[in-house]
Amino acid sequence: MLSVTLVTGIGELTTNDPQVGDGSALGVLRDAAVVVQDGRIAWLGPAARNPAADTAIDLDGAAVVPGFVDSHTHLVFAGDRSVEFTARMAGEPYDGGGIAATVAATRAAGEDELRGLLSRRIAQARAQGTTTCEVKSGYGLDVATEVRMLRLATEVTPETTFLGAHVVPAAASRHDYIELVTGGMLAACRPYARWGDVFCEPGSPHAFDADEARTVLGACAAAGLGLRVHGNQLGPGPGVQVAVELDAASVDHCTYLTDADVDALAGGATVATLLPGVEFSTRSPYPDAARLLAAGVTVALASDCNPGTCCSSSMPFGIALAVREMGMTPAQALWSATAGGALALRRDDIGVLRPGARADLCVLDAPTYAHLAYRPGMAIARALELPDRGLTAGRADRLRTWR
């Protein structure tokens, strides 16, 4: 029989369920407990009323939030582009040209090397409180390497994205490469992918324009993939409009938006996913989250962890940037990094803590979630490992620093 675990001593529980607790969008409950069975939440409520369980984990007053949903990463890659980063900090612009270096390193890496790199990156993300990662291909740009990237990604997440249309590889003609991406490469990658994505950025000589993006996304949709778009990263462009028109689940970056883009997002079902680590690491202007929220757009925050534009998977870092630089409150930023990410993946079983949802808990070494932005750069968030998930059981060993 499956064991039942009680997680108690939660000083502040953020559920993202407005029916619970303080009635806000975050559904915050004080002095709470959660009961977990078979990896799902069986019960949550006041600690004083918790039901019996086989095992108890006492968090001694810590805050708990839903595990971060990082809906945009490129965690399968080999190589290092710190030289490119250093040049950028000295004034070089980013145009996507450096992707070729990662493609060369990723093609040259063995499967075991890539698997090891990926599993260490997933462990790093969990150590910072992330419990769901989307993972893209796009550093292979040939059939064998794109398939390998996606097959490895399926070993760590169901949220896998075919990004053969990341850039046109050196020496290929645009026309021939798009034929490959929408033909043989898509067919080979399809069994390993849930989503299809395209880098729609006519300002980059390496990426794809609106018509090319429609061709790629149309083929992906016809193959049964859900759609996502990299758009409006380097300047104003058609990415948002194409994404909304094709009912993509998310359009990611959204750094440069016109009023028409904001209106389209407000009127459609496409989530605007903001990636503030990219603006930090490319020294670019930050997107205006407050403008999107005021217009009623659903906003997600994700890391975009990749070797070029943001070599960090830290969601707390993204939350701190979103609050400091993008006009979000700590509550809005937390919601976007959890519930917003879940909507960007069209999932209702993550990003929220309620009976039936996955028991993806993030424990903070803090009395309240506001510390995610208040104490930037501090290692205060971690995914809680539960015995039901076959991971480490036992006490909540941690170094308490906040009182």
Q: Footprint of Fe ion on this chain (CB under 5 A)?
A: 304
Identify residue 188 by its one-letter amino acid code: A
The footprint of ligand NIG on residues 68-107 (CB under 6 A) is 96, 98-99, 102
d(CA 359, CA 349): 9
Q: Residue 304 or residue 365: which is nearer to ligand NIG going by CB?
A: 304
The residue with its CB nearest to Fe ion is 304
Nearest-CB residue to ligand NIG? 308
- For Fe ion, the closer of residues 146 and 304 by Cβ is 304
Q: Of 287 and 307, which has the nearer Cβ to ligand NIG?
A: 307
C-alpha to C-alpha distance for 135 and 24, rounded to whole angstroms: 31
In the chain, the amino acid numbered 352 is V
DSSP conformational letter for 304: -
3-class DSSP assignment, residue 287 = coil
Phi-psi region of 65 (alpha: psi -120 to 50; beta: other; left: phi over 0): beta
**16/303 with CB nearer ligand NIG:** 303
Residue 197 contacts ligand NIG per CB under 6 A: no
**How far apart, in whole angstroms, are the C-alpha atoms of residue 34 and residue 328?**
29
Does residue number 196 form part of the binding site for ligand NIG (CB under 6 A)?
Answer: no
# residues near ligand NIG by CB under 6 A = 13
Under the phi-then-psi rule, with left for phi > 0, alpha for psi from -120 to 50, and beta for the rest, what region is 298?
beta
- What's the min distance (Å) between Cβ of 84 and ligand NIG? 8
CB 363 within 8 A of CB 396: yes
In this structure, are residues 102 and 308 in contact, taking their beta carbons and an 8 Å threshold?
yes
Q: Which of ligand NIG, Fe ion, none is residue 233 near (CB under 5 to 8 Å by kind)?
A: ligand NIG
Q: How far is CA 342 from CA 154, 203, 250, 272, 380, in A?
A: 18, 30, 11, 12, 22
Give the whole-angstrom CA distance, residue 108 versus residue 92.
27
Can you tell me which of 50, 128, 233, 284 binds ligand NIG, judged by CB under 6 A?
A: 233
Residue 351 near which of Fe ion, ligand NIG, none (CB within 5-8 Å, type-dependent) = none
Two structure tokens written together for 198 = 């395209």
Longest CA span, the chain: 66
Minimal distance in Å, beta carbon 304 to ligand NIG? Answer: 5
Work out how close the CB of 195 gets to ligand NIG at its nearest, in angstroms, rounded to a whole number: 14
* Residue 284 in contact with ligand NIG, rule: CB under 6 A: no
CB of 197 to Fe ion, least distance (A): 8
Check residue 306 and report its DSSP letter: B
| Residue 159 contact partner, candidates Fe ion, ligand NIG, none, CB within 5 to 8 A by sort of partner | none
Angstrom distances, CA of residue 354 to CA of 117, 208, 263, 335, 390: 33, 41, 32, 15, 21
Q: Which residues does residue 243 pair with via DSSP β-bridges, in sequence order?
A: none
Q: Is 276 in the site for ligand NIG (CB under 6 A)?
A: no
CB of 278 to ligand NIG, least distance (A): 5
| Binding partner of residue 212 among Fe ion, ligand NIG, none, CB cut-off 5 to 8 Å per kind | none
Mark 285-314 with x for binding to ligand NIG (rule: CB under 6 A) and - for no binding: -------------------x-xxxx-----
CB of 94 to ligand NIG, least distance (A): 7
201-230 footprint of ligand NIG as x/- string (CB under 6 A) = -----------------------------x
Return the SS3 of 300.
strand
Backbone angles phi, psi at 88, to 5 degrees: -65, -40
CB of 317 to ligand NIG, least distance (A): 16
Binding site for ligand NIG (CB under 6 A): 96, 98-99, 102, 199, 230, 233, 278, 304, 306-309
